[in-house]
């Protein structure tokens, strides 16, 4: 290395290049600089999201988990009670178990019915009709408005003792002298109906999915002598399973968290027949100021929703059919 | 509500039906769909008609057309509470406007980074972002309430609007990422050669090209914020800051069953902004989305 004698011009050139690779070095440096700059830029763009994530999502999640192990009434500091809230929920709180039960009934009744209506109407709409756009809009309107307070008030009133439902029943000779809202069995029914009435959004998804099914499949099935019904079960339904899966997950997650309609139409009554999970959580948290208990309820709800979502994902390999041959 | 965007997106492709012959079976389907559609909309039409009926006719006459046509329900309802419904509508519009601005700005900033920039832990953060979409709101509601109470933000619009400026509605981030990914990168490259910085690239190239997705974000932000009930119910306890949704609820609570005509009148008014937006933007929404090629 310390050789001072240069034997040839060739050798010298070699050595100069060995010793001084400034061009290559600066290239690496430049690339590093660019990578660094891009990283800085990216994290700057993400800064608002990061702040939101920490302050309004991750922070509250951790706080909520902590509260769930405490007794907390907002006035004095939270007091650690370990698993107390969770134990109380499942062993001492009869109303909680009722809330759990009616919520499950609601989810398992409303979601399949909603999807069935959505699919049924979507199939009819996809027969190559003029005015498809108009039909889609009309059937979508209940989904657009159904979650509002105004519609919930309307619902409460039309199923009341002198509401239009009883009036209509009177016209066809059925006399009903009871309010649908204040009878335990029918109160649940009115809320399920309100949910099913909003089948428009999954229907839109089905309509779009049906358009993607190639006509040739039906043509060749017809040549093979398959009837309309068997075409539906052999072609339409299997090809729609990814969308059924998608709709099922979304609707299930939403149904577990139903709140507005329950609060306004029935307020949980009569006799807790429609005391849905989120409504009871709200009553405990913001009515009785049992913030620790409400937090524990929220975490159990999250676990339930995650379990059902995971179960649906797990079973999907047996009934969801992907055209690209993923299963 | 927000997931319905996907539904609207997927249904945007138009089918050519001009050449289809009119057959009996198709006619039958039309009849079936029209009757079914009227049945579906009947409750809403009944509410509209009831809002114009005098109170003695309200429940005695099931017909859709009012025998006596009156505006008294609207006049009575408008001032039925201590605060006029004008204030409630103004409050709702303020909350909605801030929500729309916040969501469009903050979600597009984050979406640009996820869709266009390479950075350390990108996949990780993206997965976190997707995870927050499915998070049940009830898990956050208690600590957020404690937080906002501590900040002295109760009975202000801040709890309903400030989080929107921090991209907490992650679904829209996802929506915009999906859209920005479909914009060709050639434009970015040539703009960068012309000396455009990253922020200018976002502001001058990506935002204008992502307009359809931004409009979708704005529309669904507005509709969701307008209908939001849980948030205002918890954070707003003073009548002067009520949004329309909570005002309607306290209207029913305070009047009992006496004046449903007035309640329906205000209910009808409360639905008009959402319906108007749906009717106005339906075309723009569907067409804008059609060019994006987003698959739900």
Give B67's pLDDT tier (boundaries 50, 70, 90). confident
A175/A168 Cα distance (integer angstroms): 10
- Angle (CA) B176-B294-B160 rounded to 5° is 35
- What residues have CB less than 8 Å from A86, skipping those under 6 apart? A68, A296, A300
Number of CB pairs < 8 Å for A and B? Answer: 267
| Domain ranges, ordered by start, for chain A | 1-45, 88-319
Of residues A132, A46, A145, A220, the one with CA closest to residue B113: A46
B6/A204 Cα distance (integer angstroms): 9
The yes-or-no verdict on residue A183 having pLDDT over 70 is: yes
Taking an 8 Å cut-off on Cβ atoms, the answer to whether A45 and B30 are in contact is: no
Total structural domains in chain B? Answer: 2
User: Are B88 and B130 within one domain?
Assistant: yes
User: How far from A284 is each of A101, A261, B213, B233, B250, CA to CA, in Å?
Assistant: 17, 18, 40, 15, 20
User: Are B236 and B271 within one domain?
Assistant: yes
Query: Residue B83 sits in a domain of what CATH number?
Result: 1.10.3720.10
User: Are B103 and B165 within one domain?
Assistant: yes
User: Are B58 and B191 within one domain?
Assistant: no
Residue B1 forms part of a structural domain: no
> CB-based burial of residue B130 (10 Å sphere; 0-12 exposed, 13-18 middle, 19+ buried)?
middle
Name the H helices within chain B.
4-10, 24-50, 72-78, 85-116, 122-133, 138-150, 158-161, 170-181, 186-193, 198-200, 207-209, 211-227, 230-235, 244-255, 260-292
Closest residue to B112, CB basis, from A39, A45, A53:
A45
Taking an 8 Å cut-off on Cβ atoms, the answer to whether A136 and B141 are in contact is: no
Give the pLDDT of residue A53: 96
The yes-or-no verdict on residue B9 having pLDDT over 70 is: no
The yes-or-no verdict on residue B248 having pLDDT over 70 is: yes
The yes-or-no verdict on residue A63 having pLDDT over 80 is: yes
The yes-or-no verdict on residue A19 having pLDDT over 70 is: no
User: Are B67 and B87 within one domain?
Assistant: no
Of residues A304, A290, A279, A295, the one with CA closest to residue A95: A279
Distance from CA of B140 to the nearest CA of A (A): 5
Residue B193 forms part of a structural domain: yes
Taking an 8 Å cut-off on Cβ atoms, the answer to whether A67 and B136 are in contact is: no
Which residue range(s) make up the domain with B37? Answer: 19-72
pLDDT digits (tens, 9 = 90+) for A238-252: 888 988 998 899 899
The reply to whether the predicted model has a pTM over 0.90 is: no
Taking an 8 Å cut-off on Cβ atoms, the answer to whether A291 and B142 are in contact is: yes
Q: Which residues of A touch B264 (CB under 8 A)?
A: 153-154, 157
User: Are B55 and B103 within one domain?
Assistant: no
**Crossing angle for the helix pair A237-256 and A94-125, to the nearest 10 degrees:** 150
User: Are B287 and B163 within one domain?
Assistant: yes
User: Are B175 and B273 within one domain?
Assistant: yes
User: Are B168 and B45 within one domain?
Assistant: no
Residue B34 forms part of a structural domain: yes
| A138 and B278 Cβ atoms separated by less than 8 Å | no
- Which residue, of B36, B53, B72, is where some domain finishes? B72
Q: Which residues of B touch A297 (CB under 8 A)?
A: 138
Structure tokens at B113: 């980074």
B19/B29 Cα distance (integer angstroms): 18
Distance from CA of B122 to the nearest CA of A (A): 9
Taking an 8 Å cut-off on Cβ atoms, the answer to whether B168 and A57 are in contact is: yes
- Angle (CA) B41-B43-B44 rounded to 5° is 65
Q: Which fold has domain A88-319?
A: MetI-like fold (1.10.3720)
Give the residue from chain A lying closest to B197, CA to CA: A41
Q: Which residues of A touch B15 (CB under 8 A)?
A: 128, 132, 211
User: Are B161 and B270 within one domain?
Assistant: yes
Give the residue from chain A lying closest to B33, CA to CA: A135
Residue B224 forms part of a structural domain: yes
Average pLDDT in the B102-130 region?
Answer: 94
Share of chain B above pLDDT 90, in %: 47
Give the residue from chain B lying closest to A171, CA to CA: B62
User: Are B190 and B67 within one domain?
Assistant: no
Residue B11 forms part of a structural domain: no
User: Are B23 and B157 within one domain?
Assistant: no
Residue B260 forms part of a structural domain: yes
Residue B14 forms part of a structural domain: no
């Amino acid at each position: 290395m310390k050789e001072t004698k240069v034997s040839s011009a060739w050798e010298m050139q070699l050595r100069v290049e060995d010793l001084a690779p400034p061009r290559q070095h600066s290239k690496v440096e430049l690339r590093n600089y660019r990578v660094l700059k891009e990283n800085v830029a990216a994290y700057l763009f993400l800064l608002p999201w990061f702040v939101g994530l920490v302050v309004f999502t991750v922070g509250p999640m951790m706080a909520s988990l902590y509260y769930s192990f405490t007794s907390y009434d907002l006035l004095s500091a939270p007091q650690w009670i370990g698993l107390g809230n969770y134990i109380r929920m499942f062993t001492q709180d009869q109303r909680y178990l009722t809330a759990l039960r009616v919520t499950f009934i609601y989810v398992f009744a409303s979601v399949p019915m909603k999807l069935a209506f959505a699919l049924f109407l979507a199939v009819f709409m996809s027969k190559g009709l003029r005015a498809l756009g108009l039909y889609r809009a009309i059937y979508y309107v209940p989904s657009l408005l159904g979650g509002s307070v105004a519609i919930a008030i309307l619902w409460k009133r039309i199923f009341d003792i002198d509401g239009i439902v009883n009036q209509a029943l009177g016209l066809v000779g059925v006399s009903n002298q009871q309010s649908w809202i204040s009878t335990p069995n029918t109160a649940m029914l009115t809320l399920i109906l309100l949910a099913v009435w909003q089948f428009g959004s999954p229907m839109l998804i089905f309509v779009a999915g049906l358009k993607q099914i190639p006509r040739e499949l039906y043509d060749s099935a017809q040549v093979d002598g398959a009837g309309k019904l068997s075409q539906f079960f052999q072609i339409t339904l299997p090809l729609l399973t990814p969308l059924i899966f998608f709709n099922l997950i979304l609707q299930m997650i939403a149904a577990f968290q139903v709140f507005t309609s329950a609060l306004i139409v029935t307020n949980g009554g009569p006799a807790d027949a429609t005391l849905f999970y989120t409504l009871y959580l709200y009553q405990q948290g913001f009515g009785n100021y049992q913030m620790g208990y409400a937090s524990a309820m929220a975490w159990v709800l999250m676990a339930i929703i995650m379990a059902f979502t995971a179960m649906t994902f797990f079973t999907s390999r047996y009934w969801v059919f992907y055209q690209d041959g993923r299963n | 509500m927000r997931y319905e965007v996907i539904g609207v997106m997927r249904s945007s492709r138009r089918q050519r039906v001009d050449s289809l012959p009119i057959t009996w079976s198709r006619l039958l389907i039309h009849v079936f769909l029209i009757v079914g559609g009227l049945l579906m909309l009947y409750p809403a039409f009944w509410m509209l008609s009831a809002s114009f009926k005098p109170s003695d006719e309200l429940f005695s006459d099931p017909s859709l057309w009012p025998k006596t046509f009156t505006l008294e329900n609207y006049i009575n309802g408008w001032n039925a509470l201590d605060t006029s419904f004008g204030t409630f509508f103004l409050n709702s519009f303020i909350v909605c406007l801030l929500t729309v601005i916040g969501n469009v700005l903050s979600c597009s900033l984050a979406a640009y980074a996820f869709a266009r920039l390479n950075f350390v832990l990108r996949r990780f953060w993206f997965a976190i972002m997707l995870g927050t979409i499915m998070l049940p709101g009830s898990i956050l509601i208690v600590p957020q309430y404690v937080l906002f109470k501590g900040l002295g933000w109760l009975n202000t619009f801040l709890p309903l609007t400030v989080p929107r400026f921090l991209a907490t509605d992650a679904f829209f981030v996802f929506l915009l990422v999906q859209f920005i990914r479909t914009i060709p990168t050639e434009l970015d490259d040539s703009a960068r050669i012309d000396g455009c910085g990253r922020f200018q690239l976002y502001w001058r190239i990506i935002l204008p090209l992502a307009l359809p997705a931004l409009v979708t974000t704005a529309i669904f932000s507005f509709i969701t914020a307008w209908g939001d009930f849980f948030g205002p119910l918890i954070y707003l306890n003073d009548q002067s800051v009520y949004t329309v949704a909570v005002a309607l609820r306290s209207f029913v609570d305070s009047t009992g069953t006496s004046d449903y005509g007035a309640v329906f009148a205000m209910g009808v008014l409360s639905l008009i902004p959402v319906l108007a937006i749906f009717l106005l933007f339906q075309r723009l929404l569907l067409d804008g989305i059609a060019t994006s090629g987003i698959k739900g």
